[in-house]
Structure 1
Amino acid sequence: MNQTIWVGAVAYDPKVVGIWEGMRRYFVEEAGLPVEVVLFQSYEAQVAALLASPGDRLPRIDIGWNTNLAYIQADAWSDHRCRPIAMRDTDVGWMTKIVAVTGGPVASLADLKTRTLALGSRDSGHAAILPVHFLQRDELVEGKDYQTLRFNTDLGKHGDTGASESEVVRAVLDGRADAGAIGSPFWNAVRNERLVPEGALTEIWTSPSYNHCMFTARPDLDPSLEQRFAKALFGMSYDNPTHRPVLEAEGLRQWIAPQLEAYSELREASAQQGFLTRPLA
């Protein structure tokens, strides 16, 4: 009898239900892999379920579809025994952008001194954790060299909703902040979808690149099940008209093997800012 693989995902948006209905249908009907999906309201709950022991009074999952922060937390809190499985092609090469009003007083990082920087949710790697980290490396320290206006609108979702980044952009446009930090995908959407008047905002700084989401296996998952899951993922094709709607909804063209080097900056930043301190049970 085939063992069911329990997969966790966070319901940061109603579309997540449809995405995972499509993913489960592919796993079960086409890949022949018994998969069930558990939707969580936060990544904290999902990571707890990924690390739960059989006797714990918690749901227990085999694999979590994690943000970069959730992956790093699971890795740290399992003593590096959780295993990365796969990621999206679009998870590679994310960057943080700092934007300001075109023609305004902030045209470079040096202009941020004594001014206000808007940040997204404090648990967002791209809109809060990493910009503070990178600026500190450039000798701009939060609370000392510049002030922050934080929008903690989607805590627990690690910035997935984009709601806090929308608030960042609004704050820059209406003058509550002199500049704002957002992820490169959101900045691309702002420009491509004309979410603000054309030319209203200018990119004044771009961070080094880093990676985003990661499928993560619990430490004691049977390696053969992990391998079957990965093989099924890699078997999805953008050229297959049945697979394409699910892949497009999840924002990728291809599942790829883990690329781990580009998580080091977030790991360092998360440790410095207290995100790797494990919550008490």
Structure 2
Amino acid sequence: MPGPTPLTRRALIALTAAAAFSAAQAQGQRVFRITAIPDESPTELARKAAPLVKYLEQRLGVKAEYTPVTDYAAAVEALANQQVDLAWFGGFTFVQAQQRSGGKVVPLVQREEDEKFRSVFVTTEAGIKSLADLKGRTLSFGSQSSTSGHLMPRSFLLGAGVDPDRDLKRVAYSGAHDATVAAVASGKVDAGALNISVWDKLVADKKVDPAKVRVFFTTPAYYDYNWTVHADMPAPQRERLAKAFLDLNNATPEGREILELQRATRFVPTRAENYKGIEAAARNAGLLK
């Protein structure tokens, strides 16, 4: 007898997957929940998450869902209280989650780009050419809990002898990187600080005119974002999850789409020790006790 046609094979695979999923539901297997700090607009975060959620669902063999949160603190609480299984944190929110959970969170992977991440300061003002020129001006950070949109820019400002709370006319918090650029472009503030990845994406998508809003300072490199789980996650599941990220590459359409949306060349393993510098910067800036 002739073997099954490609269409038949696909149907059999689909039926097998459906049966496996039904069995998991029957056994009361809960949904694998994923969240991310809201460092961009909700629609952009959902767009970035969709193919990754689908991919992880297939690799883990369980139903997966993206669960948005209202702010950075909510993302920290969600993982610390095990309301989600996986969270996309900035370096500072990872440190906060470590503290909030009593050391019971584990960073699994980070983008290769996060080993040498940077922030940029942008402005429309011709008279602003250095960090020192911000004295007496207005400046917008992103979220107060943002690594690349607040903590590290503040740390580099302090290192340059500029105390944001004492030397600036006004400090604002936009809540997200793209909102910071919008505030600068509209003239609501003289300058803003945000992560270089979002800046590059906004420029590439022609959502900002770099001839009008320009970068005047780029920070030195530091460790930033990672995907983190709770330490109570069983080791085998943790290993499967990490491998799913590490296996992503540009050789497949699925991998290419996910990596492009995540603004990643590839994912690499990470560890808690990588974020000791972030913790020190937070303590020195009085943002962590």
Q: Say yes or no: does 1:64 pair with 2:87.
A: yes
SS in 2 for 1:236: coil
Bigger-Rg structure (1/2): 2
Specify the alignment match of 1:270 in structure 2.
Answer: 282
| Residues 134 and 15 of structure 1, relative CA distance in 2, 3 Å threshold | closer
Please give the alpha-carbon distance, in whole angstroms, between the structure 1 residues aligned to 2:204 and 2:51.
Answer: 28
- Correspondent of 1:118 among 129, 140, 159: 140
Which residue of structure 2 lines up, in the alignment, with residue 55 of structure 1?
Answer: none
**What displacement does 1:190 show?**
5.1
Deviations along 1:88-126, one digit per CA (max 9) or x if unpaired, are 233332212223346x22222332333333333333322
Aligned-residue offset at 1:197: 4.6
Residue in structure 1 matched with residue 43 of structure 2 by the alignment: 14
Is residue 138 from structure 1 mapped to residue 160 from structure 2 by the alignment?
Answer: yes
Q: What letter corresponds to residue 129 of structure 2 in structure 1?
A: A
Q: Take 2:95 and 2:246, find their aligned partners in 1: how far apart are those partners? A: 23
Is residue 167 from structure 1 mapped to residue 183 from structure 2 by the alignment?
Answer: yes
For residues 145 and 239 of structure 1, do their structure 2 counterparts lie closer, same or farther at Cα, with a shift above 3 Å needed? Answer: same
Matched, 1:50 2:50: no
| Maintained 8 Å contact 1:96/1:126 | yes
TM-score of the aligned structures, taking structure 2 as reference length:
0.75
In 1, Cα distance between the equivalents of 2:236 and 2:85?
13
Conserved in 2, the CA contact under 8 Å of 1:86 and 1:214?
A: yes
* Helix, strand or coil at the partner of 1:14: helix
Give, as a single letter, the amino acid of the residue that structure 1 aligns with 2:35.
A
8 Å Cα contact 1:92-1:212 kept in structure 2: yes
CA offset at residue 230 of structure 1?
0.7
Which residue is 2:122 aligned to? Answer: 99
1:86 aligns with 2:109: yes
1:39 equivalent to 2:55? Answer: no
Structure 1 stretch 246-255 or stretch 209-218: which is displaced more? 246-255
CA RMSD of aligned residues (A): 3.0
TM-score normalised to structure 1 length: 0.77
C-alpha change, 1:151 and 1:225, in structure 2 (3 Å) is same
User: How many Å separate the matches in 1 of 2:99 and 2:77?
Assistant: 12
Residue 203 of structure 1 and its aligned partner are, at CA, apart by 3.0
Alpha carbons of 1:186 and 1:46: their partners in 2 closer, same or farther (altered >3 Å)?
closer
Shift of 1:191: 4.3
Distance in 1 separating the partners of 2:223 and 2:245: 19
**SS of residue matched to 1:40:** coil
Instruction: Indicate conservation of the 8 Å contact 1:78/1:219, yes or no.
Output: no
- Count of residues in Structure 1 that have an aligned counterpart in Structure 2: 259
Matched AA of 1:113: K
Percent of aligned pairs with the same residue? Answer: 22
Equivalent residue for 1:56?
Answer: none
